[in-house]
Amino acid sequence: MKWLVVLLILLGGGVAAAALAVPTNAAVVNGSAISQETLNSDISAIAGSPDYQCYLTSEDYLSSNGSQELAPITGAGKGQSVGDNPTASSAFVATYLDTVIGHELVQQLAAQRHVTVTPAQLTEARSSLISQIDSVMTQVSQTAQGEDPRFSCGSPSPLSGQAVLASLPPSFVDSQVAFVATASALQEDLAGVGSSEGDLQRYYDEHRTQFDTTCFNAAEYSTEASAKAAQTAVDSGTPFSQAASSAAQSGTIPCTELVAVAGELGANISTLQGVAVGQASAPVDVNGSYVVLELTKRTPTSYATAKPIVSQAVQEVGAQATQTAISGAERRASVNVDPRYGTWVPTSASVFTPFAPATSDVLNASANTATVPVSKSSPFSG
């Protein structure tokens, strides 16, 4: 689901819009409007949630391996009325609008393929989004950024997905959950499987052993030759603990479905599927190190228990086809963007932020007066 993660990364926003007359639409995608009201509502929602902003910053950092940072949300100046929030930076709003356009294209693709979601799928999507936030905040806490307030929000322990979503308006959360559900169902459909309960049950029946609950010992070696020697030793009857004595590190992998173990290691499921209890796997290349696994226990998993991982497995099968479909939809899309937010660039399928918006495009021109520090990207409210 890497493509989905990328889309989720940039679900950003800024601040509430000033009460000024503005055009009806922020963008129009293949004739379908993204209203100004929706844009303002979304960026206002996220401006009010420092916890969600920290999540977005953390996800952007992790997904780019630390090579990029989320654009600053707050621009210069405030609205002219008492209580007005600061303006939002043009760089951030362009990025956010770019993401919303991408979401709209996914929704249109789903509609074209007659993909719909059920209440049960919405419930699963909410759990998936919570788990995604949990994972991101835990991972970033283990990096050098773990104590940086921009990433941690000053919390002594990683922010939870539940807490982050609770800091946002329910309507905003519901819209993000609906998108996750639709995108997941689209992946399942493009996998050639389908997203209905019957479709997933059928896939489980055809690949039942991939969802067996498995328990492994693991040892990591610096060279493939030493890992291969350990595999041969274990398969010849040498206790795993003895074979692992020369490993860089060793331990156990928590018992879980086989397909989940393979996914975590980035291994082909076939590498692990034929391993018998008491035997070792072929070395698995994990970022230049070589991991050997000894299977210690394997038991069947019922469909009811395995269902979440069955859905994930099907989505992974359809991930490449989905990314291809989205890329094609972006290239063919007819997109018009309000010029205050930038220009749609078809070749890169993105919103290009204007270096210096026209004066008529700046909603709160007073934010650019000499008494207010001006950011690199010209600010505006909205």
> Is residue 23 packed enough to be buried (19+ CB in 10 Å), middle (13-18) or exposed (0-12)?
exposed
Q: What pLDDT score was predicted for residue 55? A: 95
For 58-95, the pLDDT digits (tens) are 999 998 888 887 877 876 655 555 555 567 778 888 88
DSSP 376: S
* Ranges of H-type helices in 167-284: 170-190, 197-206, 224-235, 240-243, 258-265, 269-273
Q: What pLDDT score was predicted for residue 5? A: 38
Higher per-residue pLDDT: 364 or 297? 297
pLDDT exceeds cutoff 70 at 265: yes
pLDDT exceeds cutoff 70 at 12: no
Q: What pLDDT score was predicted for residue 166? A: 97
Express the helix, strand and coil content of the chain in percent, nearest 5 each: 50, 15, 35
Spatial separation of the C-alpha atoms in residues 289 and 139, rounded to whole Å = 20
Q: What pLDDT score was predicted for residue 352? A: 87
Q: What pLDDT score was predicted for residue 304? A: 94
Q: What pLDDT score was predicted for residue 348? A: 86
pLDDT exceeds cutoff 70 at 16: no
Spatial separation of the C-alpha atoms in residues 77 and 88, rounded to whole Å = 9
Spatial separation of the C-alpha atoms in residues 78 and 367, rounded to whole Å = 6
pLDDT exceeds cutoff 70 at 118: yes
Share of residues in the chain with pLDDT > 70 (%)? 83
Distance in Å from the first CA to the final CA of the chain = 31
pTM of this structure: 0.77
Structure tokens at 28: 């129009």
For 266-284, the pLDDT digits (tens) are 888 988 999 999 999 999 9
For 157-202, the pLDDT digits (tens) are 999 999 999 999 999 999 999 999 999 999 999 999 998 999 999 9
